[in-house]
Amino acid sequence: MNRRYLLKGMGAIVLYSSFPTILSEFLSSCKTKDKDLRAGFFSDDEFHLIEGITDALLPATSTPGALDAKVPFFLDLVAKNCLTKADQQLIKKGLQQMTEQEKFSSLSPPEKLNAIKKIDEAAFKEDAGSTWFRIVKKLSLIGYFTSQEGMTKALTYVKVPGDYKACIPYKQGEKGLAKTFLMYW
Amino acid sequence: MNTYNAIVVGSGISGGWAAKELCEKGLKTLLLERGRDVKHVQDYPTANLDPWQLPNRNMLTQEDVETYPIQKTVYHFGQDDKHFFVKDTEHPYQQSKPFQWIRGNQVGGKSLLWSRHTFRFSDLDFEANLKEGVGIDWPIRYKDIAPWYDYVEQFIGVSGKNEGLPQLPDGQFIPPFEMNCLEKHLKERIEKKFAGRNLIQSRMAVLTQPHNGRGKCMSRNLCHRGCPYGAYFSSNSSTLPAAYKTGNLTLRPFSIVHSIIWDKEKHKATGVRVIDAETMETFEYFAPVIFLNASALSTTKIMLQSTSETFPNGFANSSGVLGRYLMDHYSGTGAVASYDILKDQYYFGQRSTSTYIPRYQNINRQDRKFTRGFAYEVYASRADWGRGYGGPGTGAEWKDSLSEPGSWNAAIYAYGECLPDQKNHVSLDETKKDKWGLPLLKIDMEYGDNEKAMHDDMINDAKEMLSAGDPEWVVDINDPSVPGMTIHEMGTARMGNDPKTSVLNKFNQCHDAPNVFVTDGACMVSTACQNPSLTYMALTARACDYAVQQLKNKEIK
C-alpha cells in the first residue's frame, strides 16, 4: 500500500480548491513521472477527478486501494484504446458535469463518497445521464482486480493451482480465487 | 521432390489425425496448412502471462474490434488468444444471410481453441434421418464407428465416466473431474425430480492424469492460450508430435490449396495446386491418396474451386449436392440461477471442464413438438468480483465484500440438433476475389422450423431444472445463435450410400474420385446435438485405415 501517494493526491486536491492558479505548477513539479505513465486520454483535471472517483469506489482498507493499484492509469489507457467514441464522449461529459454541477473536486472526502453514492444509485436506476458512471465503475473494478496489487492482495491468486479440489470448506472473510479467464461481460 | 505417398490438407483436429495415422502406417505424408506453424509450447506466447501482463488486461482495442468483427464474438477471444484467429479484414467471405465463420488458420487450426467436449453419437443419431425421412440415411451405424471411438479416446485422453445411457454411449475414459458442491446438489435434485434426466460430468479431452507423454491439467482454465502441459488435446500437443516421430511427416505451412489436380486420362486425382500464402508462388504436389481436412467450409470451397471438364460444378460433384445441407447447432438459449445455500463450501483451482445434461427429449417416443433434441452444458461456480459492476455499491465495505466469493451461480446452455436442409448452402462468388486471387465463399444459411421449435423448451426446461435446486432467482438466457456461432458447422460434402445424393461413401471416400477422402465436418449427414469433434477424429482414423488397405490392395493407386 502506498499511503504517501494517497496523501500527496489529497494534498493536491485541497490546494486546488484554495489556490487554483498554483495548481498546475504544483502538479507539474511533483507528478512529472506519473504523467509520463499516462496514456493521455484524460486531461490533468479529468485525471484528478478519476483519481477521486476510483479512490472513493475502492479505497485502501486492509487491502490496497484503487490508487495503490494505479487504477486511474488503467482507466486512462483503456478509455483511450478500448472504448468507442460514443463511450469516450459520455465519460468526458460525465466528468464535466461532476466538475460544473457537483463541484466534486472541492468536496471533503466524506462528501465525495456521498456524491459518488448518489451518482452510483442513479446509474443503476437506468438514469441515462449516469450511464457514463457504470462504464467508469466497471473499468475501475477490472483495473483493480486484475492488477498485481488487487489480484495478489485482495484475492487469492495461485498461478498454477495443480490439483483441482471440487469441494472444500469456506469461512466468511477468506479471500476468493482470483479470476484468470479474463472476459468482462 | 514434389511427390509423396499421401497429402493431407489442413492440420486441425481431423487433419492432425489423418497425418498421424498415415505416417504411422508408413506413408511419406505431406501436410499442407494455409497458416503459419505453431509449435507446441514454444508458440504459445501468452500461456504463462499473469493477467496484469496482458495488453489492456485482455480488453479489445477499437482496432481489434475493426480487425476481428466476426472472430471477436467467440467467448474467449481476447488479447491472450487473438493470434490464433484469422483477421476478418484479410479473410473476407460473403454472407447472404448472417453467418459467423470462425477460423483459426495455423498449424493446429481450431484444435487449439476448441471447447474440448468429446461425446459419442449413438444409433439414435445415426438412424434418425432414415426413420424420419429427413435428408438421407447415414451410411454407417454405431457399430461401425464404435471401435474407432475407442481408438481415438485412448490416444487423446478423455476424462469422464461411464453412465450407461443409450443416447450417449460410454467410452474409454480416464477419471473425471469431480463435481463441485452446487453441481452435486443440482444433480441430486434434477435426477430425483425428472425421470430420464441426468446431470453428469462432461466427457472432455482434458487430462486428470498424465497420458501418452502429456501432463495433467493444472486447473488454470487458460486452455485457449495453448497449454504448456499439453493437458488438453490439440493437434499441436498430440497428433503432430506422433506424426513427426515416424520420420514420415513433411509439414508445409503457408500453403493455400487452390484446387485438386484431376487427370482426365487416368480418371483420378493426382495431387493439389498450392499458392504460397506469403510469396504468392504456385506449386504442385502429387500423391496417390489425398485427404481433405481444411475444416467443413474450407474443404468444400477447395472442392468447388476444383473444376474440370469432368467436374464442371466442383470436384466429385456429379450428385450436385456439394455445398448443400450446411448445418450448425442451435444455441444461445438456457438459464442462469443464483443460490443462497452452500455458503460454507468452495473449491480450489479453476476447472476448465463443464457438467452436462445429455439429451432426454424424444428418446423412446416422440414427446415434444419438435423432432430430435438438445443437450445442456452446465457451469456452476461462486460469483467473482464481476458482480460488483452489476449493481450499486461503493466504498470500503463494498470493496472488501468483493474480495470474498459471492453466491453460488449456475448457468445452463442448450445445444440443439440442426436438421439438414438443401436450401442452406455455400457457393463461390466469382465476382469477388481475396488477395490470393481466389473467389470468396458465399454462405447462405438460416435455422429452420424445427430448430426454432426447440427454442422455448430449451429455456423453459433449463429454468425448471435450475428451479429444482431452490434458487433465489432464475433468469432466461435468450440470445439465439446466429448460424456459425456454435462453431459446429457441418455438412456440404455429405456421406451417403447413393452417389446420386451424396459426395462421399461410407468410408469418407469421394464416390467420383476414390483416392480423395474428406473426413472433417463437411462429411456430416446430420448433427445430433453432441459436440462433433470426436466423431470427425474417429471417422478420420477409420478412413485412413481403409485408404491404406485400398492402397495395399491396389484398389487406389
What does the DSSP assignment read for B141-206? Answer: -HHHHHHHHHHHHHHH--B------TTS-----BPPPPP-HHHHHHHHHHHHHSTT---EEPPBSB
d(CA B34, CA B86): 11
> Smallest CA–CA separation between B457 and chain A, in Å?
25
Confidence of residue B305 (pLDDT cuts 50, 70, 90): very high
> Smallest CA–CA separation between B525 and chain A, in Å?
35
Amino acid in the structure at residue B290: I
Chain B contact present for A159, CB below 8 A: yes
Which among A56, A171, A184 has CB closest to B395? A56
* Other Cβ atoms closer than 10 A to B363: 15
Which among A61, A74, A160 has CB closest to B396? A61
Chain A contact present for B179, CB below 8 A: yes
d(CA B344, CA A172): 8
pLDDT tens digits along B135-154 = 999 999 999 999 999 999 99
pLDDT tens digits along A98-123 = 998 878 888 888 898 999 999 999 99
Tell me whether residues B345 and A169 touch, CB distance under 8 A. yes
Mean pLDDT, all residues of chain A = 83
Q: Using CB atoms and an 8 Å cut-off, which of residues 45-64 of chain A contact chain B?
A: 56-59, 61-63
Domains of chain B listed by start with CATH number:
1-53+84-159+223-329+424-445+488-557 (3.50.50.60), 164-202+334-416+447-482 (no CATH)
What is the pLDDT, as a whole number, of residue A33?
62
pLDDT tens digits along B219-231 = 999 999 999 999 9
> Smallest CA–CA separation between A109 and chain B, in Å?
11
> Which of these, B199, B158, B164, B159, lies nearest to B175 by C-alpha position?
B159
- Is there a contact between B156 and B233 (Cβ–Cβ < 8 Å)? yes
Classify the complex by whether its ipTM is higher than 0.90, answering yes or no.
yes
Is pLDDT at A5 greater than 50 in this prediction? no
Mutate to test the interface with B, among A53, A117, A155, A170 (most CBs of B within 10 A): A170
pLDDT tens digits along B333-358 = 999 999 999 999 999 999 999 999 99
Which among B51, B178, B220 has CB closest to A166? B178
Chain A contact present for B175, CB below 8 A: no
Tell me whether residues A168 and B346 touch, CB distance under 8 A. yes
Tell me whether residues B343 and A124 touch, CB distance under 8 A. no
pLDDT tens digits along B372-383 = 999 999 999 999
Per DSSP, helices labelled H in chain A are 3-18, 20-30, 32-36, 44-57, 71-81, 85-97, 109-123, 131-145, 148-149
pLDDT tens digits along B162-198 = 999 999 999 999 999 999 999 999 999 999 999 999 9
Confidence of residue A126 (pLDDT cuts 50, 70, 90): confident
Q: Between the CA of residue B305 and those of B314, B315, B316, B437, B519, what are the distances in Å?
A: 6, 8, 11, 12, 18
> Which of these, A3, A113, A129, lies nearest to A58 by C-alpha position?
A113
Helix (H) or strand (E) holding B516: strand B513-518
**Which positions in chain A touch B63 (Cβ < 8 Å)?**
81
Residues composing chain B: 557
Chain A contact present for B78, CB below 8 A: yes
Is pLDDT at B490 greater than 80 in this prediction? yes
> Smallest CA–CA separation between A16 and chain B, in Å?
24
How many helices (DSSP H) and strands (DSSP E) are in chain B? Answer: 11, 19
Tell me whether residues B395 and A77 touch, CB distance under 8 A. no
Is pLDDT at A147 greater than 70 in this prediction? yes
Mean pLDDT, all residues of chain B = 97
What is the pLDDT, as a whole number, of residue A127?
73
What is the pLDDT, as a whole number, of residue A14?
30
What is the pLDDT, as a whole number, of residue A48?
94
- Which DSSP category does B492 fall into? S
Which residues, in sequence order, are CB contacts of B205 under 8 Å at separation 6+?
A: B116, B118, B156, B157, B158, B232, B233
Tell me whether residues B396 and A175 touch, CB distance under 8 A. no
Chain B residue closest in CA terms to A85: B62
